[in-house]
Every structure is written in C-alpha cells, then in structure tokens.
Structure 1
C-alpha cells in the first residue's frame, strides 16, 4: 500500500502485448473473482483493465476477453461503463473486423441485441445509446464472413423477439434482420415454415413488412417466398378448420398471404409488351407483303391504305414537310450571308480585343512562372537538404525512382508529341499563308469561313435531297 503501481501496469501491458493468450486461458476463474468481488468495484475494474490489455494487439483475444468476462457483468452498474467503453475502444483500434469473425455467435449476439434495444434494462440510457452505436459492427462480427451459411441459425431468435408489443426501434431492426436472413440464406425459409404455427403474430409482422418492401425485394427472394407463402396459405386453412384459437393472428397472416400472392401474380396486363409485339408483327407483315407482291405499290397494304385514304394523307403530309424544309433552306441561303457578315462586323472588334487581352495575360503568366521558377531554383537545394536529413532512405529512393520515371516520360513521350504538334502547326500555318497569298488578313479568314460554310450547306443539301428521293421511292414503290 502506498507504492506506485505504474511499474506493474507497464509489465502487464508488455507481457500481454507479446503473449495475449495468457489472459484468455482461464477466463472462467477471473469471472468468478469478479462475481465474488462485485461489491468492491475498484478491484473488479483492476482485473478488467489487466485482462483487457490482451486486446491491444489482437482483436480475437480482445473479443474473447470481452465476451467471457465483460459481457456477463454488463448488468452490474459499477462495471457496465468500463465494459462498454472497452468494447468501443477495441473496435476503434481494430477497424478490420475480419480477424474477429467466428467469435460472436447467437448465444452472445442476442443478449447484446436486448441490451442495445430493449428499454428499462439494467443499462442506463447513455450506455444503451453507446452500445446501439456499436451494434452494426457487432452484427457484422456475428454474421461472419459467410452470412449465407449462418443466418438461418439466427432466424429463430430474431423471429421470437419480433412481437407486436416490442419497441419500435427494436421492431424495425428485427424485421430488417429477418429480411436479411431470408435474402442471404435460403435455409431461413425452411426454418420459418417450421416455426410458423408457434409464431403467428411474429410471422404476421414479417409478412406485412415483406409486403411493404415488395418493390425493393430481389427477384430471387420473391421466387423463394412464393413457395413459403403458399405453404402458409394451406396452414392457415388448416388452423381455421380446427376451430377458434388465435383467430386474429391467423386472419392477419392469411390477409398478408393473399396480398403477397396477388403481388406475385403480377401488376396487371402488360400493355407495353403487347404493343411492342404488335408493332413487330405489323412490320414483319408489311415486309412480307411487299416482298410477295414485288413492290409497295402493288401490295395489299398499299391497297388498304389507298382505300382508307391514309396513303394520300401521308403523301400530302410528306410533301408539306418537304416544301417547308426546302423553303427553310432557301431562306437560310438568302439570309445567312447577310447575317454572317453582320455578326462578323459586330464580333470582330471584340475578338481582336480578346486576342490582345489574352496575349497580355499570357505574358503576365509567363513572367509570374519565370519568377516562381527562379525562386524554386534558389530554394530547392535547402529543401533537398532538409528532406534528406528528415526523410528515411527508402522514401528518398522512391522519390528518385519517380523522378527518373517522369524524366523518361517527358523525354520519350511528351517531347516527341510536342514536336509533332509543332510540326503540324507549322505545316498548317504554311498552307494557310499559301492560300492567303502570304498575308494573314481578316478578309482571308472571312473567305475561308465562307467557303467552309458553303461546303457544309452543299453537303447538307445533297444529303437532304438523297434522303427525300429515297423516301419518295419507298412510298411510291419505284
């Protein structure tokens, strides 16, 4: 008594950091000590602290300590805060939860679920909220690396807790977990069928939850659920035939089953698919008719369209559209030169001013870069010396490799690319000067723009005429 305990603590930490299994070889003995000394919280907290050092470097051993010693005393008022804080610190120190897979099973998980969500338990609200924040990670640890093979073992306990009277937060979590079990582990459906008659009220809640979330349910789950719901439907009829019992629960389950079966049958007649099929059929019939009679004009479809007046109306509509397009083209042909010259005269001063300002900005930017480069050239030796004195040798070697790689890319890729671009620009400039008789004037630029515009419109005109002739030939059968 009266001596400093820091030395003992350091020794315990060093020992368990190197060999954490020393603390977990006989946890039952330490648990007996805690239960016998629970009226002496200081001694119990010392034992918990010493055992908890096993989780500093090993998540597996830390979880073993928490599940074997701290979870059983979680309801003790004087020890609960340390137990929850230790769990939070353990999961924060070890964010990679894969090393803890297989440690938490249903026997340990569901007491944690009750502590986190059930009100009026032995935990105060603040600790319960803290444990609720840790619950998602505990759930990941419990489900493990292959939830598709283990979730059916959790399904019965989830289902038995999902009563209509359970708290809303817990009910939401239970229904979400039950849906997760059904979607990931197909064996959960067979487990549910076995438990159905003993858990009618819980099954009613789950069926209604599946009904509400039907649109977000995967096709695989919907197909698996179909067999289960039909089995429930038969069971409901048998329960009703036996006589009065849990009639209300059976009626609720039966109503949910009927709605789910209606959902499974579909949402009504598939009109879009029918219209698509009819469209494809009509196109195929038209092609067959034209091929049989040799031309569209001689086909039965054309005869039907002529007799009904549809062909004449479509030809008139096409003539109007063609006439409007031709008038629009002629208007553009008349108006474009005038509007183009007007726009050119308006924009020319602005473009020249923009060119001048851009040149000034480029000169200012080059001067700024030059001053910055000169400053860097003077500062780099000092920076290099400072880095060499503080950075490890491996990092400096890595930086040297990166520098060599960048130099190689610049010499072998960037410089040849820039040379090719410069040669292409020079060649283009020579062609430009030759076409402008050695003078780069605005009139020459305007002439080139006019030529490009004229060529574009000629191409569009030829394309439009070709498409028009083809369409008329198809309609008329020539």
Structure 2
C-alpha cells in the first residue's frame, strides 16, 4: 500500500508481510485517509461562485488529461520472491521522481489538473492493485489520497469540510463525482440513513453541506435520481437558514441541466408539491425574500413535474389541497395561482368536478372565490368544458337552496355562491333575445308609422297602409270580421240584458241569509273589539310595568332601559296605529250607513240594500255599454272612409 512519509513527503512501498501502521510514515500517524464524514473542521462558507454547470471536476480534469497525455504507461515493478529462511525481508524504499515530492499550492484547480502526471497516477494505482488485489475500496482510498496530495489548490466551491490540518480534498470530490456519474443509485439507495446523518449534524453546517453536495452529484447524470435526492434530503431541511441557499441553488442547477422534464414525471406528488407551493407563495416563512423569489421562478417547472404525463387523470388528487388554501385571506399572488390551478383541474380532469361537489358544503368561502373566478373567466373556458361545468353548477345551486332552507350559520357565503351560480348558469345558457322589448318596440314603430301615414295622406283610403291592405285582400276580410264582431257584440249584449237581472235576483235570493248572518257577526265582532281592545292593552301594559318593577333590582341599567322601551312600545302602537285606523274604519262605516239611510229614506232594510246594489251594477253596465258602442262607432267610421 502506498503511504506518504511524514518527514520528507515521499511515497514508500510496503510489502505484504509488513504490519499495518509500522514505521515512521505509517497510516495510523498521519490520518491522511480519514473518512469524509469524520472531518471536524467548521469554517465560514459562501455559495458563490459555484462550479461551472457544464462539467464536473472529474470531467474537467481527470478524463481530459488522460485524453491529452498519450504517454506509455510504466508497468508495475515486479515483487521479489521470498527467500527461504526466517530472515526478515529488508525494506526497500522506492524513490519517486521529483514531481512526487511535497507539492506547492496551485493558484487554481485547473492549473493543478494540468500539472498532474497521469503516468505517475496510473503507476501508483497499479501498485495499489497489485499489493491489495481484490480490495477495490483500498484502491479508491489510495487514488483519492494521491489526488488530494497532488491537487493542492483552493476550493472553488466551499461545500466540503476540510481536515483540521488543512489537507486538500479535491481527490475525494473527483472520486465521488466519478462514482455517482456511473452509479447514481448508490446515493439514493439509503436516503433515510443519510437524512438521519444530516439531522445529527444539523448544528454543524459545513458537514451538512458536505453530505448534501456529495449526494447531489447523482442528479447531474440522472434527473430521476437527482429529484430523489432533493426530495429526500434537501426538502426536509429547506427551512434551515444555513442550508436553504444550497438546496434551492442545487434545484435550480438540476432543472437547468435537464431541460427535458419528462424523465422526472412521477417523482413529485401532492405530499411534496404543496409544501413547495407554501414556501414559494406564503409570506413571512423561513426563506429569505431572494430565495423565495428564486423558488417562485422554479415553481412552474415543479408544477409540470408534479402534474406528470397524464394530468387528465391525476389533477383531481391535487384539487382538495388547492381548494382548502384558496381562502379570502390568502395573499393575492397565492390566490391568483390557486384559482388558476383550480380552474385547470376542472377543465383538464373530469373527476375534479365530483370532488368539488363532495367538498362544497364544508368549503363555501373557498368555493365562492372559485365561482366568481369562473364567472369572470367564463369566455376563456372551452365550450366542451362549459357543458360539463354547467351540470356541476346546477348541482351546486340545488345545494345552495337546501342550505338556505336549513339556515346554516354561514348564510352570507351561501348567498354569494348562489348569486355566482345564477350568473354562471345565465352565461352557460347563452344570451337570450329580449322578446318583450322587441315586441314593444315593434308595436310602437307600427303605431307611429300608421299615424304618420294617415296624417300625411289625410285619409285611410289614400294612405299607403290602406292601399296595401286593399291590394293584399286583407281589408275586405277585416271589414267582414269587424261586421261579424259587431253583430256578435250586439247579440251578447242583448243576452246579458235579458239574463243578468234574472240571474242577479236568483243569486241574491240564494245568498241573502248568508249575507245577513255575516253582517250580524261583523257588527258583533266590531262591537266586541271596540269594547275590549283598550282594556286588554291596558292590562298588558300594567303587566309589563309590574314585571319591570320585579326585575329592576336584578337587571342592569341597560336592560331596565330596554324593558322601559318595550313597555312603552305597545302603548305607542295602540295610540299611533291601531286607534287612528279604528277611527277611520268607524268613520267609513258611519258614512256608508248615512248614505244608505239617505237612499232608503230613513229605514235601512235588506230590500233597500238590494235595490242599491242593483242600481250600482246597472250603472256600471251602462258605462261599459257606452264605451263599447263608442269604440265600435269609431271603428266603423274609420273603415267607412275607404
């Protein structure tokens, strides 16, 4: 195994028979191969500038140098066979070339990679493979240690912890990137274990960033594995101030490197999507405004990933969470996004409407916002979807009527929803022609045209209307119809003149006893109310007075004042409403009695009342007859002018 000597920085060959840790430059003393997770250094970090997104350290340095340098590889030295006997094999120190001596620090990692001798690297790797055959983990550790020693350059991305003595860790980074680019599922096989490790070091941000950086390398070769890492490792720590910038920057870089999002469909579900929605749009959360704005810019692509390849069969699973968040008090930008997403669910996935009907009674305030949004954007909804939504809105309207009958506590929301449903149904049925207004307008136009025609031609026969009716044959037919109508009217009048008095007398004979009894009961009722109404109202007022006196001691002043008003209310109602109405009724009855007394010459009998009623009916009939005759005469005179 290759190990670095402590004194002169040389590499020595350790044979198989040598005990581990022996010698001055053994592995136990230097600690150069300490595991990545055992680093204890805590240092300040800054996420800028990040590594270029076009390549990894492994791609930029290791593979490019191997392609550029086409040197002949030196075969590994042969191991001398053991001689028989019990003598110890003397140690042989392989003196490395001058470039293997202690390295100075380069100004950049690119400069260090250009100076790396791939032939020497291959030689050391072959030596480790020959000494520790069948143990790839040691080969990898030797390779990483050699690269750490050779690539003495400042970190361009401070996401890995340093050893306490300041050893460079570029070798570890290159090896991690090389492995996870080829086998990305190594990082996602035990995400739960890595999350526990991350939470156990939550108070040490540098170590947490090391874990997040190392696992995140799996995503640059595979979008699916990268989303698994982000959802399983970085989303749970998104609210932590020291880790949130790296998590969002990694997500931005991941989506930038994989513009084809179809490979990530099915990775984000409602359980992961809605926390991201809250982080992006909910104010005063644990993210800074700049990070929240950056997450808002990534939200549309996350939404595409969440809805997946078949949104017409998955959006109904997102509808309940969208609806529950669309409250009247939510922020404007979030409300706009929620209403837009709810509309998309209703227009794309038919099952969203049935989910809405089930949630509607318990989400009236949210549904009122959605209904008003649909009302304002109804024209943008496809016609096919409008027909399906019409059935849903009709069902919601029936639910509103049922809730109004029951008198639920949130009547205002029900009324708002009901008004929005009516407006939507009117728009769904399409614009109707105002037939009443059109007919009225047509009638006014016809009357105006007829008056102008008669006035301009001074007679009906010379008018355009008369000539048109005469040439069309309508005028003779109308004259004949008017003559028949006049004849029938005269016959009807004669029949009424003969039969009305007979039937009137018969009717009066039949209903006279009932009318007399009703008159007697009416007089008795009026007399009873006039005698007892005032006394009962006075008793009610006295009762209220006594009750108020009993409760005056036990009730506060405000209630005493209320009782005083209640006590005065019946008296005011009696004095200002009932009593004036009663006086008016008595005056009307007195005037009617006086008129009957004068008409009957001092004695009001039923025969006299019958005579008065007959005269009133006869007078009314004469007035109607005069009006009818005058109208017929005018019509005949107008027709005869032809």
Q: Is TM more than 0.5 here?
A: yes
Matches within 5 A, 1:75-474: 75-269=239-433
Q: CA deviation at 1:268?
A: 2.0
Q: CA deviation at 1:33?
A: 1.4
**Aligned equivalents of 1:244, 1:108: Cα separation in 2:** 36
Q: Could you say which residue in structure 2 is the equivalent of 1:49?
A: 213
**Aligned equivalents of 1:25, 1:250: Cα separation in 2:** 52
**Aligned equivalents of 2:339, 2:232: Cα separation in 1:** 29
Q: CA deviation at 1:70?
A: 0.2
Q: Could you say which residue in structure 2 is the equivalent of 1:20?
A: 184
**Aligned equivalents of 2:342, 2:177: Cα separation in 1:** 42
**Aligned equivalents of 1:156, 1:11: Cα separation in 2:** 46
Q: CA deviation at 1:36?
A: 1.6
**Aligned equivalents of 2:249, 2:416: Cα separation in 1:** 43
**Aligned equivalents of 1:22, 1:244: Cα separation in 2:** 58
In the alignment, structure 2 segments of 5+ residues that lack a partner are 1-162, 436-467, 473-642
**Aligned equivalents of 2:250, 2:199: Cα separation in 1:** 19
Q: Could you say which residue in structure 2 is the equivalent of 1:376?
A: none
Note the alpha carbon deviations across 1:299-320, whole angstroms, 9 max, x for none.
xxxxx9xx79xxxxxxxxxxxx
Q: CA deviation at 1:270?
A: 9.9
Note the alpha carbon deviations across 1:259-302, whole angstroms, 9 max, x for none.
1111112112299xxxxxxxxxxxxxxxxxxxxxxxxxxxxxxx
Q: CA deviation at 1:240?
A: 1.1
Note the alpha carbon deviations across 1:12-38, whole angstroms, 9 max, x for none.
000000000000001111111111211
Q: Could you say which residue in structure 2 is the equivalent of 1:71?
A: 235
**Aligned equivalents of 1:224, 1:26: Cα separation in 2:** 47
Q: Could you say which residue in structure 2 is the equivalent of 1:59?
A: 223
**Bigger Cα Rg:** 2
**Aligned equivalents of 1:136, 1:172: Cα separation in 2:** 14
Q: Could you say which residue in structure 1 is the equivalent of 2:458?
A: none
**Aligned equivalents of 1:90, 1:270: Cα separation in 2:** 60
Secondary structure, counterpart of 1:71 in structure 2? helix
Note the alpha carbon deviations across 1:187-243, whole angstroms, 9 max, x for none.
000000000001000000000000000111111221111111111111111111112
Find the partner of 1:29 among 165, 184, 193.
193
Secondary structure, counterpart of 1:72 in structure 2? helix
**Aligned equivalents of 2:389, 2:262: Cα separation in 1:** 31
Q: Could you say which residue in structure 1 is the equivalent of 2:171?
A: 7
Secondary structure, counterpart of 1:34 in structure 2? helix
**Aligned equivalents of 2:413, 2:354: Cα separation in 1:** 21
TM-score of the pair, normalised by structure 2: 0.42
Note the alpha carbon deviations across 1:145-203, whole angstroms, 9 max, x for none.
11001000000000000000000000000000000001110000000000000100000
**Aligned equivalents of 1:94, 1:86: Cα separation in 2:** 12
Q: Could you say which residue in structure 2 is the equivalent of 1:466?
A: none
In the alignment, structure 1 segments of 5+ residues that lack a partner are 272-303, 309-478
Tell me the number of residue pairs that the alignment of Structure 1 and Structure 2 aligns.
278
Secondary structure, counterpart of 2:237 in structure 1? coil
**Aligned equivalents of 1:136, 1:192: Cα separation in 2:** 24
Q: Whose helix fraction is larger, Structure 1's or Structure 2's?
A: 1
